[in-house]
Each structure stands twice: as C-alpha cells, then as structure tokens.
Amino acid sequence: MVIVMEKHAAEEKIERVVAELIARGFDVHRSTGSDQTVLGVVGDVANVDTREFELFDGVQEVVRVSEPYKLTSRTFKRESSVIDARGVRIGGDEVVIMAGPCTIESEHQVFETARRVARAGARVLRGGAYKPRTSPYAFQGMGLDGLKILRAAGDECDMATVSEVMEISQIEGMLPYVDILQVGARNMQNFNLLAALGQVRKPVLLKRGMSATIQEWLLAAEYIMAGGNYDVILCERGIRTFETYTRNTLDISAIPVIHKLSHLPIIGDPSHASGRRNKVAPLARAIVAAGGDGVLIEVHYDPEKAVCDGPQSLYPEQFARLMDELRIIVPAVGRTI
Amino acid sequence: MVIVMEKHAAEEKIERVVAELIARGFDVHRSTGSDQTVLGVVGDVANVDTREFELFDGVQEVVRVSEPYKLTSRTFKRESSVIDARGVRIGGDEVVIMAGPCTIESEHQVFETARRVARAGARVLRGGAYKPRTSPYAFQGMGLDGLKILRAAGDECDMATVSEVMEISQIEGMLPYVDILQVGARNMQNFNLLAALGQVRKPVLLKRGMSATIQEWLLAAEYIMAGGNYDVILCERGIRTFETYTRNTLDISAIPVIHKLSHLPIIGDPSHASGRRNKVAPLARAIVAAGGDGVLIEVHYDPEKAVCDGPQSLYPEQFARLMDELRIIVPAVGRTI
Amino acid sequence: MVIVMEKHAAEEKIERVVAELIARGFDVHRSTGSDQTVLGVVGDVANVDTREFELFDGVQEVVRVSEPYKLTSRTFKRESSVIDARGVRIGGDEVVIMAGPCTIESEHQVFETARRVARAGARVLRGGAYKPRTSPYAFQGMGLDGLKILRAAGDECDMATVSEVMEISQIEGMLPYVDILQVGARNMQNFNLLAALGQVRKPVLLKRGMSATIQEWLLAAEYIMAGGNYDVILCERGIRTFETYTRNTLDISAIPVIHKLSHLPIIGDPSHASGRRNKVAPLARAIVAAGGDGVLIEVHYDPEKAVCDGPQSLYPEQFARLMDELRIIVPAVGRTI
Amino acid sequence: MVIVMEKHAAEEKIERVVAELIARGFDVHRSTGSDQTVLGVVGDVANVDTREFELFDGVQEVVRVSEPYKLTSRTFKRESSVIDARGVRIGGDEVVIMAGPCTIESEHQVFETARRVARAGARVLRGGAYKPRTSPYAFQGMGLDGLKILRAAGDECDMATVSEVMEISQIEGMLPYVDILQVGARNMQNFNLLAALGQVRKPVLLKRGMSATIQEWLLAAEYIMAGGNYDVILCERGIRTFETYTRNTLDISAIPVIHKLSHLPIIGDPSHASGRRNKVAPLARAIVAAGGDGVLIEVHYDPEKAVCDGPQSLYPEQFARLMDELRIIVPAVGRTI
C-alpha cells in the first residue's frame, strides 16, 4: 500500500499517519520529495480498507499495490493449470469444445443433439436441468430427471458433462451425473454457493458476472479455491454495456488478460454473449483466435422446437461447419482441436 | 406483441407467420399499409421468446408491448403500497429513515449507535450479521449472536430492525429478530432465495443489482410477490458505470421511474452508492428531494473503530445535522419526517 | 509517480528502472521492504506515459499520483470561483436557474417563454440556434437570426443569455448576442473548439460528455483555461449507462465530487438527463439538494408545439411550481434563490 | 411507427390520437384486440419524436419500427460496398492491413516503419499529424510537414495513406497527401466536420465513438453519405465500459452486427482497444476471425523511442509474426490477405 500525502503537508500530519500505521503493525518506508511525501506500507494489508487512510488529514491518495487474490494468481503458480474432467483436459494443447442444448427437455432431444455434436468433435456435453429465469412465470427446468438423461447421453457418446448448479442443496444430488459444475453469471457473487463448491472435488466452470470486473471474477474463483477445490475453469460470456443491439458485449480482451493474470484456463460462451444464432460462429472463431482454451456453445437438434433460447442455438450442420472453421484457425495459436 | 414485416414482404411469408401464431392460440390483428404490413398479436405472450419470430423469413422486427411483470405494476394496483414493519409505515406520508452500523460488531457498538440515531429521528435500525464479502479472507459477520443484539437495541429504542439474508438456510433463524429482511445487490437475481422469501410473511427490502435494469429489478420483486409475500420495499443503491471516482453511480432517476411503473415504495442508500462519508449527506438530501420514500444510512458511534466500511459511515453528529436538513426539504415533496 | 516492483525483483532490474528515471531527469526515492521495492518518482511526470515503465522487466505496477489537471484543481485555487455573466453570479450564494426553450423557433415563442420564466425567477435565458442533431435529416436551427431574438428577449426580461456553439467559425458571430457560450456533450472533447474558446473573454458552460469521466471533464475545462479564459461553468447532464429507461443516467454524485476536486461551479441539466417532462422536477430538486450551483431547464410556453424535445420541456406553470419547491429546499444547503 | 394504447383505453382517447395522426398526414391502421388497441402509422415518420405521442392520454407505448438511417442500410443497398483507396480495395475478398506509427515524428521514423510493415504485407500506411490529446499540455502533432513525410513514404513503399482530420479547416490541406481521411472516436458526433467530409471525394475512415451505439455510429456515417460521399469505412476501436483493466472494451460482436445492418466495410483497431502491446495480436486475430474487413495497427520501428502510445505499438518483428498468423486464419472466413 502506498500513501501519497498532499503537497506541502505539514510534518505533524505525516507523523500522525505514520504513527497509526506503526500502531497497526506495518513497516513504513518514507520517501520525501522536494514538495511531496510518499509513504510505502509493507505488511499484510489485504484486509485494510484503504479509505480509512484517505480520510486522514493531509492525505491525497491511497493506492493498494498488492493484488487481493492469491491462489488464482500467476504469481502464485507460474505454469498454466490443466483441469481434468473425466479424461478431457481443459487448458492444455487442445481447444475443448463443449456443446449441447440450453435446457434439457427430453431423452430424445438430448441424445439426438449429443450424437450430432460428438460426431462433429465436441468433447463435453452441456445441458441445463436447473434454470435461472428472470421471470417467475417461465419454465424452471427438469431437475434430476434431466441430469440422468444428460449422464446417459454423455456415456453413450463418450463425453464429459457440464450443468448449472443454482443452490447449495442441489450439489449433492448432481455429483453422480455431472463432471463439471457450472456457476451462472447471476450467481458469480453468491458467496455461500462458492464456498460450498470449494468443498467439492469436481471441476467448477465459473461464468463471469454480467457486471463483474476481472478482479472480482478472480476473487470469486478464489472463494472456491480457498476451500481446497483448485479445479476452476473461467468462462467469459459477455458483460453488460450501453450497447443493446447484442444481448451482452463479449469482452474478447478478457482472454489475453486472464492468461496474463492467472494460471486458470478460460473459455468463451458465444451463445449467451450474442443471443442470436447468426452471431455465434463469428464470436466462436474470435474466441479461439484470441487464445481461448475452449468454447461453450448451444446446439439443438431442432432449434425451432427448443423451449428456451432456441434463437441462439445452432443447427447441428452449422455446428459441424463451425468446427471445420475452428480446425483451420487453431494452428495460428499453436493449438489442436 | 407486434410483428413488423419487411417492406413489400411476399404475401406467403406473411401468411406463414400468421399461421404459426394461430397454431399457438393467439388472436392476430393484421394492419396492411401501402408498402408494409404489421401484425398485432393478442393473447398470453409473456412466455413467447420474440426472437423466434424474428427468425421467420420476411420479418423485420418483433416488439413486445406488454410489461413482463404483473403484481409489481401500477397497472395491477393503482394506489401506492404502504408497508408496515412493526408499526413503521414505509411508503406513506412519512419519509422513513433507517440507520445503524454496516456490520454488527458488539453490544456496546450497536446500543451506542442505536440510541444516537433514534434520538435524531431514525425509525428503523440497520446492522449486518451475515456479510457478503468479495474476498474470502475478510470478516464474515457475527451471525445469530449479532441479530440478538440488534433486536435488543431495537426494542430499547423502539425501532424496527432490518438485516441482510444471504442464504435460504438463514431465513428461519432470522425471523424472531428481524422486522425487514434485506436482499443484497449481489443476490438480486438469486432466484431460489427470492422464491423462499415469497413464502415468508415479513417485509423484504430488495436492493437493486449492480447492473440490473429497472425491469429486471421489478421482475425480481415479482418473484417474491408471486409466492404470496406482497410486502416488498425497493432500494436504489447505485449502479455500475464507467465512472470510477465513486464506488457506484446512484441512479437518482430510478425514484420517479419506479413511482410511475410500480406501486411499491422505493428508498435510497447513499452510503453504498458513494462509499465516502462526505458524499453521503448530499446524496441523502437528493434522494428525499427526488421523492424517495426513505433513506438507508450507515452510522457508527465511532467510525474510526468500525471493522467494515468505516469510511462511509457517518458520525452521529453528522447524522443529526443531516436529519435537520431533511426536515427542511420534506415539505417541498409534500411529506413529513 | 510511484513504481511498484514485483516481489523479490532482482536488484539489477530495479537498477535498470532507476537508471532510466534518472536519465530522464527525475528524482527517485527508493523504499525497500522485506520482499518488495517501491520507487517514488518526483519531477514533472505529467507527460510521462506510465505504461512505458510498466513494460520494464520486474515492474508490477505504475501509479500516477499527481492529478493531470492543474488550473481547474482546488489545489491550485482554494476558494470557489464565482463567475459573472452580465451581472448574474454563478457559484455564489444564489442558486441560479437557467430556463428557456430547447430550440429557438420564433420571436413569439422566445418572448412568450422568456416572460414566463423570468416572472417565476429564472435569471438566465437559454435557447439553441445551432443544433447538434444525430440525424442529418432533422432541423438544424435558426442560426444568427435566432440569437438576435434571444438577445432581445433577454434584454426585455433582464436576463443573461446562454446558447450552444458547435463550431469555431460560429464563435465570432455569437459574441454580441450570447453571455454564456455552451459546449454540448458531443463536443466536450472537440479540442480545437475548446482551445478557441480559451481565447474568448466570456463564460463557457461545459457540458459533460456522455461517457466522460470526471477527470476527462476537468481536463476539457483545463483546455479552455489554459488559453486564458478562466470562466468555466461545468454542467452535469447525465452519462450513458446500461439503463435505457431514462435517456441518460444523471450522475448526481458528480456534484459533491466536483466541489471537492475543483473550484469551478457546477450546475445540472435535468431535462436532457431524463428526456421526459414528468422526471424533470424530481431531478431538479435533487440537483439543488445535492448542492448544485444552478439548474438548466427546458421550458416552452406551449410544449405541444415545440419542434424539438417538446416531451422534455416543462409547461410554464410546472416551472413556476418547481421554483416554489426549490425555494423550500435551498435553506437546507445554505443557499438562496 | 406503432402506437400501443393502454388496456381498455376509452374510445375517445383512441380517437384523439388518431385525429392527431391524420392531421399530420399519416395513414393510420387500427387493430383492435379484445382488450387492447394498437395503431399502425404509415408515412414519413423519420422526423417524428415518438415521445410526443407517449404523452397522449391513454397511450401505453410508442415504437418506431423503421430504421432512422437510410443510405448506410443494407435495405438500401444489398451488396457489400468495396471502397477503393489508391488501388487498395477495402471490403472485398482481401483482408486489408493498415499499419504504421501512432504519431508522425520524423522522416527516419516513418520510412523505417513503412518499409518494415510493407515488407510484411501491410497495404495502407497510417500516421497521425494532428493529434487529439486529452491534456492541453501534451504534444499536438507535426501537421502538414508530417503529412508530406507520410505521402513520400507511402509512395516509396506503394502503400495508400490514412491520417486523422480533427477540424474542417484541415481538410483542404490534407487532400494531396492522404488517401483516407480518418475521423477519431471523439469527433464521431462532430456533425459539422462530418457534413464537410460529405463534400469530399475521398474515402473516410469513421471510428466508433467511445460510447456510441451501433445506431448512432451508422447515423454518423449517414451524415457523410448524405453529402454525397459514399466511401465510408467503419472502424471498431473499443467502447467504454465499467471494466478498467483494458483501456476500452473491443466490441467484437459489432463486426457481424454491422455486416448484417449495413453494406459498409468494417475494420478493427486492436491497438487503441487494448492499449497494451501484448494484447494487440490476440485481438487482431479475433477481428479477422470474426469477419472483419481489415485491421488498423500501430507499429513503430523502435517503440521505446515513440513520443506517443509507444506501449501499444508493435515491434516490426511482432507485426511480421502476426501477419503470418493472420494468413493461417483467413481461409476460415473465405478471405485472402
């Protein structure tokens, strides 16, 4: 932490700040310029509220210089993490494609879709059984019955499975059926849920909150890791901005930024970011070209019939064509698919 | 719902859309202009995904014209709701001031603060026992022991109490001690929690999510009301914008907007919006001048000693001075305090 | 400027940074903690691009601690500036109300409106003669003919006048008719225009850009002041956020923030911020209650007939009622009206 | 335009709205449902302020259904525009790379950089002679002398040239030296400048404003085209959001969105979007993979020595490597480079 005193701050004001810092057990390093003094504070400042010092008379600015996250940081772990989900390795050489329907509707729908995406090259099968809906009057998902279907289809097609968990009480029941537990954007700061997932020994796919900064996102991952579960996969799915033409604004820059700050893998979700089928392929290609470790895509064997988010679901043939395009791109980022 | 066809769309394209609408049980009203056709769709369109129709050949635009929320709407209930919390009426003639510490730390702290704010005119005592912290390494609150202190101080000073609930499992235990259950900004779309609060028979204070639109906020209130709990108080606490000088941007316009769209009372939280003590009084005055039904303010008998958010807590004397200013303002909005 | 080195950065890396700083003529103050070194840099760092130092090996973070603006800063001038426009003093004890039509349409319209707002207590007459329109197909304003009407009406009613300048070439012609030159939000960073206004000896009313941070706004004011024109009035008119229910989000907190950072007066524009007549009065009251030095309001003697922005223009009776409400509020902020 | 009446609106209220519409010369198509009436309005509604009708008693909502832009729209021109700048065709099969220094500093610098980027495959040489600087105290550019250098280097290396115009008075002098006139983000709504560029017969590269919606951006292009200059190239350079880790948030989705709405070519600027050299290559690859018609990149033969934006300028070797990566990607989008 660095405390910048106002120009020509009286010596006694400076000393009052220094005294408080020492009283709290910090080492203080004082740097006196011709007209301004700066105090360097060394020690465990993670829990200090910098504003307390801003309010001292004579203080111009307080700057926190250490990152508040630890376990997620590349400073803590230099080499990139590779996370294993039933044999699928996320964060390694291979760009991993996760595909499937938004919502699990029926056995027929899941198996039909799973076979098509597996054949095209997807490695993880997605499908929602518990659905966060903004309206209380909308369909809320099939629950456990849906997850059993997902598991069976995943087994038949040799795919790992991923599905969203909304509530602590659902975790236990999901474990037999799901290889990756997904936390949705709206729950990114549901701290009780994050802490509970820290006790689980399965990978967690953590979506970025709609208005979460990259730092808040890493701190949410820290909640899970602090409990002992180190297998966190980050997923960029678009942030909320003033632009309303697209549902959200995919923050493509988050991919190189996360790779610099953290050792955790990051994938992208072009379906929720755009909300429209015809924008999904361009965004998926961009995610891979920017260096993403994977893509999470909604595909439905018959999107017209989808109960939810049909308009953003790809047709199986569109998905197969997209996979061909991604195969062209991956050598440009030194990856395989 | 209104479907606007492209200019000079072929008759067969129009008929295909009409056929689909009729198949789904809607009444269709067709309006044919010289070069463009518009279809008016009547029926229960609340669960229709408008994008499905956008994808029909020949469709230019689909516009949803009915509001997706019902119980929260002023169309549903013309007169403003007045909500009773242990005798304190929120949404009536009186502007209700809720004050107290951010976090419950000790008996001494809560009683000292409660006496000071009660004397100055506050009617509801606030204090957090379960704290949502962005970092897993920060203090997480005193829990039930804290709530007992809050209740005792509220009783002594004849104030109702408000405290935040973070998790379904906490609700039951909180009921004996808390008169208003607060839902924090980060949980505004924790739909399972909202649904559980719909089963409770105590007022809920619902903070606006950091990036929630007004419509999403009303839909979150709808979740609670759909369960049978009609006593929802909305609280504007600032939204996230590009401006970083203040912690959040208090959306002062939300006050007249909510009063137009909904019958629910709306209060403002100047402490979280600004994050700095010296901005709290200007914002509190603005909230009342804009027509807010109340203000939720952090006050600490000794802010330097606060374990959390001290820099945004008012000193008791500042709070008393602010109350005097608010008493000058209320006649301008036809209210009392 | 403060340069924070990475934990355990090698001594040679630190020395390389220090050498570069000294080569550029800065004084360097080094503070070495147990595991981290921080460099305090003293000298004229205003033109240094901090990112250059971020790219040095071993550097964790570079923090600029001196404010980039000078003349606008309260550090530069402690007492608040009071700006005189034809005898009306902005920034003093009196809260100054500026009112009039959005666009000058006719002699009748301007005189009718001016008389009504003057009688209710407005001190400055507003009216646009050059209009920035987002569509090239919309009405672009009456130009000089309009300004002559504005001047005549101002003279009759003993009011100062304010009107928007869009282009350097318009300045000269406007000077005889306009007491305050307004720079619109879209031109806040039209640096050539700002520099030209620095050469003028008339007050400039500088609206905040739709996505301008407070710092960028003050730097825009600095452009004008750097040319020798110190009479700048800031005007908050709403920023662009994700919320689309209102046209813009009035950043009410900007008022206390500007009062802390700068000696310049700040007023608010509730008409453009809300875009709807029924939101104007609540926002105007909030602006005054938050400590604003004035309010700029659109009033039309017959809003149904307005060629532009009629729906956000107040009726004269609404304006008179609002003035009464503001008279109740001003004592709460120690002002008169 | 569609006017939705409130449920059960009285017949006389509906008739009052209809009468006003007819009085203004519109055709009205009335669609009466069981409990709600919708009015379809046909005619030239481009200049109608929809809010005027919102204020009629009994009106629930007014929806404008026709796009406010015309010449930029794909409805107006189905096939994609290909724009010729001194033989370089933008918007055709080839993805066009524009590269060069941020600011023109010297003959040596421009020639050295131009030779390196030309050899690697760039087709257009960029370089700023007039610089919009947020601080009045920063370097403002070399002006015409700089443009002469740019022209000479472009001629030697057989490249077209692009440079920013800030002010109407600069246009005339720039024409002999510049093949594409660039309008910066801060001037995107400088309507006088746009109108003046409509009179020129050279391509204009129009950067998106920092907080401009896609619709406002297309309307800005419309200003230029309305004057008769149809050669507009759009350039996405990042928008302002709450995320501060990157300078701006590159809105990658804008590429497929513009391609759907408009026939104009769209390129991307990864240098300004990220503000950091190590993010430029990932974003450039993403722009091409998303279907962009070109990329505008800052390259400096020796970035450490750059007077401006050095930290976001690529080294020539980095640029050459990026070109190789882009050559791998282009077949995935059916393009060449």
CA distance A28 to A3: 10
> What tokens appear for B29 in the block?
């009203």
pLDDT in tens, A37-52: 778 776 666 677 787 8
Strand partners, C314: C299
DSSP element (H, E) containing B31? strand B27-32
Interchain pair A137, B47: CB under 8 A: yes
pLDDT band at B63 (very low <50, low <70, confident <90, very high): confident
CA distance C235 to C293: 10
pLDDT in tens, B128-187: 999 777 667 666 789 999 999 999 999 999 999 999 999 999 999 999 999 999 999 999
CA distance D215 to D222: 10
Interchain pair A33, C38: CB under 8 A: no
Mean pLDDT on B78-92: 95
The answer, as to whether pTM is greater than 0.80, is yes
CB-neighbour burial class of residue D15 (10 A; exposed 0-12, middle 13-18, buried 19+): exposed
**In sequence order, which residues have a C-beta less than 8 Å from that of residue A149 and are 6 or more positions away?**
A104, A106, A107, A110, A111, A127, A142
pLDDT band at D5 (very low <50, low <70, confident <90, very high): confident
pLDDT band at D67 (very low <50, low <70, confident <90, very high): low
B336 at the C interface (CB within 8 A)?
Answer: no
Q: Looking at the predicted structure, is the pLDDT value of residue D187 above 60?
A: yes
| Residue tagged 């070797």 (tokens) | D317
Please tell me the distance in Å from C164's CA to the nearest CA on chain D: 13
pLDDT in tens, C157-196: 999 999 999 999 999 999 999 999 999 999 999 989 999 9
**In sequence order, which residues have a C-beta less than 8 Å from that of residue C51 and are 6 or more positions away?**
C62, D275, D276, D310, D311, D312
CA distance C29 to A37: 10
CA distance A303 to B263: 39
Mean pLDDT on C10-23: 88
Classify A5 as helix, strand or coil: strand
Classify B199 as helix, strand or coil: coil
pLDDT score of C65: 58
**In sequence order, which residues have a C-beta less than 8 Å from that of residue A218 and are 6 or more positions away?**
A69, A72, A73, A258, A261, A262
Which of B53, B102, B190, B206 is best to mutate for the A interface (most A CBs within 10 A)?
Answer: B190
pLDDT in tens, B313-336: 999 999 999 999 999 999 999 999
* Of residues D52, D54, D134, nearest to C216 (C-beta): D134
Interchain pair A167, B166: CB under 8 A: no
> What tokens appear for B269 in the block?
């939280």
Backbone angles phi, psi at B85, to 5 degrees: -125, 105
Tell me how crowded residue B103 is: count the other CB atoms within 10 A of its CB: 24
Classify C190 as helix, strand or coil: coil
Tell me how crowded residue B223 is: count the other CB atoms within 10 A of its CB: 30
pLDDT in tens, D262-311: 999 999 999 987 778 889 999 999 999 999 999 999 999 998 888 777 77
Please tell me the distance in Å from C212's CA to the nearest CA on chain A: 14
Between B311 and D211, the higher pLDDT residue: D211
pLDDT in tens, C57-77: 888 878 765 566 678 888 778
CA distance B177 to B159: 12
- The overall average pLDDT reported for chain C is 90
pLDDT score of A75: 75
pLDDT in tens, D298-324: 999 998 888 777 778 999 999 999 999
Q: Looking at the predicted structure, is the pLDDT value of residue A54 above 70?
A: yes
DSSP code string of C199-245: T--S-EEEEPPTT--HHHHHHHHHHHHHTT---EEEEE--B--S--S
CA distance B189 to D213: 27
pLDDT in tens, A176-205: 999 999 999 999 999 899 999 999 999 999
Interchain pair B29, D34: CB under 8 A: no
Q: Looking at the predicted structure, is the pLDDT value of residue B201 above 60?
A: yes
pLDDT score of D237: 95
Judged by CB atoms within 8 Å, which residues 145-164 of C form the interface with D?
A: none
Q: Looking at the predicted structure, is the pLDDT value of residue A35 above 70?
A: no
pLDDT score of D35: 67
Candidates B2, B18, B1, B21; CA nearest to B10 is B18
Interchain pair C242, B239: CB under 8 A: yes
pLDDT in tens, D163-173: 999 999 999 99
Q: Looking at the predicted structure, is the pLDDT value of residue B109 above 60?
A: yes
D27 at the A interface (CB within 8 A)?
Answer: no
Between C46 and A176, the higher pLDDT residue: A176
C137 at the D interface (CB within 8 A)?
Answer: yes
Percentage, residues of chain B above pLDDT 90: 63
Q: Looking at the predicted structure, is the pLDDT value of residue B110 above 80?
A: yes
Between the alpha carbon of residue B252 and those of residues A144, C250, D65, D299, the distances in Å are 44, 7, 30, 45
- The overall average pLDDT reported for chain B is 90
Strand partners, A88: A85
Classify C125 as helix, strand or coil: strand
Candidates D58, D25, D17; CA nearest to D42 is D25
CA of D239: which chain B residue's CA is closest?
A: B242
D333 at the A interface (CB within 8 A)?
Answer: yes
Interchain pair C189, D310: CB under 8 A: no
For residue B60, list chain D residues with Cβ-Cβ distance below 8 A. Answer: 65
For residue C245, list chain B residues with Cβ-Cβ distance below 8 A. Answer: 213-215, 253, 257
Classify C106 as helix, strand or coil: coil
A63 at the C interface (CB within 8 A)?
Answer: yes
CA distance C270 to C273: 5
pLDDT band at C87 (very low <50, low <70, confident <90, very high): very high
A68 at the B interface (CB within 8 A)?
Answer: yes
Q: Give all strands of the β-sheet with A2-5 in edge-to-edge order.
A: A27-32, A37-42, A2-5, A59-63
Three-state SS across chain D?
A: CEEEECCCCCHHHHHHHHHHHHHCCCEEEEEECCCCEEEEEECCCCCCCHHHHHCCCCEEEEECCCCCCCCCECCCCCCCCCEEECCEEECCCECEEEEECCECCCHHHHHHHHHHHHHHCCCEEECECCCCCCCCCCCCCCCHHHHHHHHHHHHHHCCEEEEECCCHHHHHHHCCCCCEEEECHHHCCCHHHHHHHCCCCCCEEEECCCCCCHHHHHHHHHHHHHCCCCCEEEEECCECCCCCCCCCECECCHHHHHHHHECCCEEECHHHHHCCHHHHHHHHHHHHHCCCCEEEEEECCCHHHCCCCHHHCECHHHHHHHHHHHHHHHHHHCCEC
pLDDT score of A95: 98
Q: Looking at the predicted structure, is the pLDDT value of residue C32 above 90?
A: no
CA distance B189 to A302: 30
Mean pLDDT on B226-251: 91
**Chain A: touching chains (3 or more CB pairs < 8 Å):** B, C, D
pLDDT score of B66: 57
B215 at the C interface (CB within 8 A)?
Answer: yes
pLDDT score of D65: 58
**Chain C: touching chains (3 or more CB pairs < 8 Å):** A, B, D
- Asked if residues D170 and D200 have their Cβ atoms less than 8 Å apart, the reply is no
For residue D53, list chain C residues with Cβ-Cβ distance below 8 A. Answer: none
Between D273 and D19, the higher pLDDT residue: D19
Burial A107-135 (b: 16+ CB within 10 A, else e): eebbbbbbebbbebbbbbbbbbbbbbbbb
**Chain B: touching chains (3 or more CB pairs < 8 Å):** A, C, D
pLDDT in tens, B284-300: 999 999 999 999 999 99
Please tell me the distance in Å from B61's CA to the nearest CA on chain A: 13
DSSP conformation class of C261? H
Interchain pair A55, B311: CB under 8 A: yes
pLDDT band at A306 (very low <50, low <70, confident <90, very high): confident
* Of residues B51, B211, B219, nearest to A134 (C-beta): B219
- Asked if residues B186 and B209 have their Cβ atoms less than 8 Å apart, the reply is yes
Mean pLDDT on D237-261: 91
Tell me how crowded residue A139 is: count the other CB atoms within 10 A of its CB: 13
For A241, what's the count of Cα atoms within 13 Å in the CB-facing half-sphere? Answer: 32
Q: Looking at B260-264, D48-52, D222-226, which range is the least confident one?
A: D48-52
Interchain pair D31, B27: CB under 8 A: no
Classify B278 as helix, strand or coil: helix
CA distance A73 to D41: 58
Furthest C-alpha separation in chain B: 77
pLDDT score of C282: 97
Interchain pair D133, C167: CB under 8 A: no
pLDDT score of D276: 80
Q: Looking at A128-132, B27-31, C170-174, which range is the least confident one?
A: B27-31
pLDDT score of C285: 98
A187 at the B interface (CB within 8 A)?
Answer: yes
Interchain pair B290, C274: CB under 8 A: no
Which of A42, A50, A243, A251 is best to mutate for the C interface (most C CBs within 10 A)?
Answer: A42
Mean pLDDT on D90-109: 96
Mean pLDDT on A247-251: 92
B307 at the C interface (CB within 8 A)?
Answer: no
CA distance D291 to D285: 10
**In sequence order, which residues have a C-beta less than 8 Å from that of residue C134 and are 6 or more positions away?**
D189, D216, D219
B242 at the D interface (CB within 8 A)?
Answer: yes
Candidates A128, A152, A125; CA nearest to A140 is A128
> What tokens appear for A40 in the block?
């360097």
Please tell me the distance in Å from B195's CA to the nearest CA on chain C: 25
pLDDT score of D66: 57
CB-neighbour burial class of residue C137 (10 A; exposed 0-12, middle 13-18, buried 19+): middle
B47 at the A interface (CB within 8 A)?
Answer: yes
Interchain pair D136, C275: CB under 8 A: no
* Of residues A38, A42, A242, nearest to C40 (C-beta): A38
pLDDT in tens, C117-148: 999 999 999 999 997 776 676 667 899 999 99
D38 at the B interface (CB within 8 A)?
Answer: yes
A73 at the C interface (CB within 8 A)?
Answer: no
Single-letter residue type at B57: D
Tell me how crowded residue C158 is: count the other CB atoms within 10 A of its CB: 12
**In sequence order, which residues have a C-beta less than 8 Å from that of residue D29 and are 6 or more positions away?**
B31, B32, B33, B38, D39, D40, D41, D42
pLDDT band at C116 (very low <50, low <70, confident <90, very high): very high
pLDDT in tens, C236-275: 999 999 887 888 999 999 999 999 999 999 999 999 877 7
CA distance B98 to B159: 9
CA distance C254 to C257: 5
- The overall average pLDDT reported for chain A is 90
Between B227 and B199, the higher pLDDT residue: B199
**Chain D: touching chains (3 or more CB pairs < 8 Å):** A, B, C
Mean pLDDT on D45-70: 76
Please tell me the distance in Å from B212's CA to the nearest CA on chain C: 8
- Asked if residues A161 and A178 have their Cβ atoms less than 8 Å apart, the reply is yes
Tell me how crowded residue A317 is: count the other CB atoms within 10 A of its CB: 10
Interchain pair C289, B291: CB under 8 A: no
Single-letter residue type at D221: A
The ipTM value here is 0.84
CA distance B304 to C8: 34
Q: Looking at the predicted structure, is the pLDDT value of residue C6 above 90?
A: no
B286 at the C interface (CB within 8 A)?
Answer: yes
Furthest C-alpha separation in chain A: 77
